[in-house]
Structures are given as structure tokens and as C-alpha cells.
Amino acid sequence: MTTVREASLAVLRSHGITTIFGNPGSTELPMFRDFPDDFRYVLGLQESVAVGAADGYAQGTGRAALVNLHSAAGVGHGLGNVFTAFRNRTPLVLVAGQQARSLLVGEPFLFAERPAEFPEPYVKYSREPARALDVPATLARAIHVATTPPCGPVLISVPVDDWDQEATPVPAHTVAGTVAGDPDVLGDLAARLAAARAPALVVGGEVDRDGAFDDVVALAERHAARVYVAPMSPRCGFPERHRLFGGFLPAAHDGIRAALDAHDLVLVLGSPVFPFHTEGAVPGDTAVPEATELVQLTEDPAHAAWTPVGTSVVTGVRHGVRALLAGPPPPERPLPAPGPRAERVAAGGGVITEELLLQTLADLRPADSVVVEEAPATRGPMHAHLPFDRAGSFYTCASGGLGHGLPAAVGMALARAERVVALIGDGSAMYGIQALWSAAQLGVPLTIVVVHNARYRALDQFAEHFGITKPVGTALPGLDFVALAAGQGVAGVRVEHPDELEPALADALASPAPVVLDVIVA
């Protein structure tokens, strides 16, 4: 007899999913009876950590990852990072426990009421199969949904007594393909791009996710187009030291409008248009100058639908950009003026500034290293002093929710052979500090740089926008990240003086084990 468990593990194996993240409870234990040797279980001490680590692992491998969640409470714990995975377009398969079917007539302990509805709308697909024998096929369907662009999380709720029931093996089934835009529309766009006076590109997270990084560089160089990074982009879509790089668009109407005003055609590649963080001065303002034509290429029909102006083409970015590269050659255009470049900062005054920290990290980190960032107040100095030039070199959360970065860095370090650096604010770190224990148990070579300013500095900065001079609940005194690391088996070093920064960072980057640098910044 083939059990539901055996058939489900076969489905996972067929999709290359043999690493499972989670924190098991009583309603999930039968799933792991006779756990096979070719599978690995990565334990997180809280479900949000497990989800965040799975997100980092999935992004690092380019494959779906599976997360085991403990009934309704575990789904609740993990939902913040499920939301982030949804915004990141990360393919996650969430398998949540449920009480035994024979008990569901009442409200038993650990009962999940309407479990398929609980994570909505931040999952692409959510089911509790009607019969135990349907679990393996439902799992296969969920994996296909999660990995079909635009990717995202899915959830299956499985009653505890289903796993030992009889099931039929699921036949092999492959879903292949990409989103291809209309060739006539793309051909017309190629001609318009060639005829533009001063075109610009705006790159978002889909560029890196779709493997279009080099194609976008070629398109920009062919058209002498200035390239901006879209607001809140979670990945690196263009080399930031390139001659055509124009900087980062803010999530504010006036700043976007000012940057785009010099361009008669703006091509937005793989980003919403636009994820604003504040209201504009004029209701309904699109932030696109009236004389500027905007065209968007995106794999996401939902993003295309709410773009307020211009033309949207639903297509995989790589497919779309390659179609544009096959279009008519443009006339020779003058190169745009070089974008702003930050001056180097000097160590002085006896304190470590964010600028000095990021400049030193840029100087010392290996060229092929990967940075996972969740330090919102440090984003501006990072853009100025820590440039990224490669595909797959930078990751952050697209949602704005804290608690993703540190667990995601652990998952990324598990997935990638390159050195991974976690750049984490002190407030952010405390949302997922249990991830240090997982890093220690896994022994991953992870360098964790905590930007320790003893407050939610981003909130202080944002308070100025509302004219608030004394925001409440932003001070974070008394945190000791060296002690927090030691309590979970990770070595830590407190860095307070500029002279200590370079040697401490060099040692941490060379360590084969996880290391926390608690960097006190002014």
C-alpha cells in the first residue's frame, strides 16, 4: 500500500524539493514518520523564522521551498513573512497541520477553522483537500501554481490522520513555459524606443528573477538610455557603477516626476508603476510627466491592470527585452550625463557612521558575495556607498515588513556557495533573532552586520514627513547582540570605534561559521 505520506514525498522529490523548513507540532508529526535519508529538515525556533529562511532558500536556489507550519497558530506566526514572500514573488509551498478529520465536527484543541481562508489574499492557492487520498495531487497542483509566473506562496491544510491513509501515486506532470508578450506589440514598442529622443529604463525585481540582467544592460547600452532602479525594488537589476546608471527612484511622486522629466519615453521593466510610500500633493498624480510616454513590461497581469497611465505589456521581462533587442537600430544618441557618485568618507570623530560602515563593507566583501538587507534607515547610505553590479547579488523584502532579512540570510547561505552578508538594523534583527540559532546549527558561513543605532531610526525619519517632532516608541536601549548571539551558539563582536571596524569585518568575512558584528553607529 502507498500511503499519503509516501505519495506526497514522491511528489516533492520529483520537483527537487528535499529541504523542508518548519517547526513541527503534534498535528504534523505523522508527516515525518520514517523520514527519508535524502530529505533534510531545517528547524526554525518560530514559524516566521522558518518562512523567512525558506524564502531566502527559494530565492537562492531558484526553486520552490516547502514550509511545515503548526496548525492555525503556526500559520498565524508565519503570516508576516508569508506576506513578504507574496510581495517578493517567492514560490513557497506551505503545508499546515490540521486536527484529525473525525474531530472536525466539533472544535477540538489546535483546530484550524476555515484554514484555506486564513492566509488569503497573500497566497495564490489555498486548499484543505476533501479526502485524504487527494492530498498528493493537491500538493502537486500547489507546487505548479507556486512556480508559475508570477510566482508566490500557496498553502495546503492536511488533517493529522491523512498521512497514513492509502493514496494513489501522482503521475509525472511538468508545467513549462514563460509569459510571452504579443510580438506585434513588442515590435511596435521596439520602433518607438528606437525613435525616442531621450529614453530611460526603470528596472524592478522581475529583471533579476527572470534572468534578464545582462539583456537589460545590452538594451540600455544599445539605446544610450539612463537606467533607474524602481522604488522599493527588492533585487539588483542593473550594475550600479555602470556609466548609464542614474540612481534610485524614491517612493514619492515629486522625486519620481523630477527624475523622469528629461525623458520622452520611459520603459518600466518588471516593476509596479509605482509603489508609493506617501501621498502626492495632487490627488490622482501618476508621477509620470505629461510629456513622457510610459511603457511597462511585466509578467504580472495584476500589476499591469493598476498601472494608471501609458501602455502595459504582459510578458516575461527577458522575453520582452530580447524582442526589443531584435528591433530596429536606434540613431546614435549622446550619452546622458553621468549619474551622481558619492565621495569617499574618512574615519574621524571617534564614531562609526553608517556611511563609513557601508564603505568599509564595500571595500572588504568578496566580489562574488551576496548581501541580504533589512536596514530601512540605512538604505540611503547603502545606495551611495555599497554598490551592486551583478545579478543575484542583492536581496531585500518587497513588502516593508520587518523580520524577513535575518532568517532569509540564513536560507540564502544554505542555498548559495558564495559568502552571504546579512545587513540588518537592530530593530529589524529583533523580529527574527531566533534565526541565529538556526545559523549556528547549520554552520553556515554567514556574516551578520547589525547596524546598531538603538532606535527605529526609519520611523524617526518618517515622523518628520508628518511634522512629528517627538515620535513615541522608537527608542531601543539596552540591546546586546553579542550576548544574544552567544546564547544561541554564534560568535559575536561589538565594534564601537572606527579603528576596530576594518579588522573585525575582515575576520568575520573570512570565518567559516556564522559571526555577528554588533556595530554601534552614530
25, 270, 327, 492: the active-site residue: 25
State the alpha helices, DSSP H only, in 1-101.
Answer: 4-14, 47-61, 71-88
Is residue 120 flagged as an active site residue? no
| Catalytic hit among 400, 489, 502, 511 | 400
Q: Residue 452 catalytic? A: no
Please work out, in degrees rounded to the nearest 5, the angle formed at the alpha carbon of residue 169 by the alpha carbons of 168 and 172: 140
373 is catalytic: no
Which one from 6, 15, 28, 48 is the annotated catalytic residue?
28
Whose cell is 524592478? That residue is 204
**Residue 28 known to be catalytic:** yes
Instruction: Look at residues 317, 287, 291 and name the one whose alpha carbon lies nearest to residue 304.
Output: 317
- Is residue 47 annotated as part of the catalytic site, yes or no? yes
Give Cβ neighbours of residue 254 (< 8 Å, ≥ 6 apart).
280, 281, 287
Please identify which of the residues 8, 48, 60, 70 carries the catalytic annotation: 70
Which residues, including other chains, have CB under 8 Å from residue 16's CB and lie 6 or more apart? 63
Phi-psi region of 28 (alpha: psi -120 to 50; beta: other; left: phi over 0): alpha
List phi, psi (to 5°) of 444. Answer: -75, 145
CB within 8 Å of 173: residues ≥ 6 apart = 140, 144
Cβ within 8 Å of residue 5, ≥6 positions away: 30, 31, 33, 163, 164
Rounded-to-integer distance, Cα 241 and Cα 401, Å: 29
CA–CA gap between residue 325 and residue 269 (Å, rounded) = 14
Catalytic residue among 277, 464, 487, 497, which?
277
Q: How many CA atoms lie within 13 A of 388 on its CB side?
A: 24
> How many H helices and E strands in the chain?
18, 18
Q: Which of 8, 15, 44, 47 is catalytic?
A: 47
25 is catalytic: yes
b/e 244-283 (16+ beta carbons within 10 angstroms → b): bbbbbbbbbbeebbebbeebbbbbbbbbbbbbbeeeeeee
Q: Check if 6 is active-site.
A: no
Cα separation, 412 vs 52, whole angstroms: 10
φ, ψ of residue 491 to 5 degrees: the values are -70, 145
Residues catalogued as catalytic: 25-26, 28, 47, 70, 277, 400
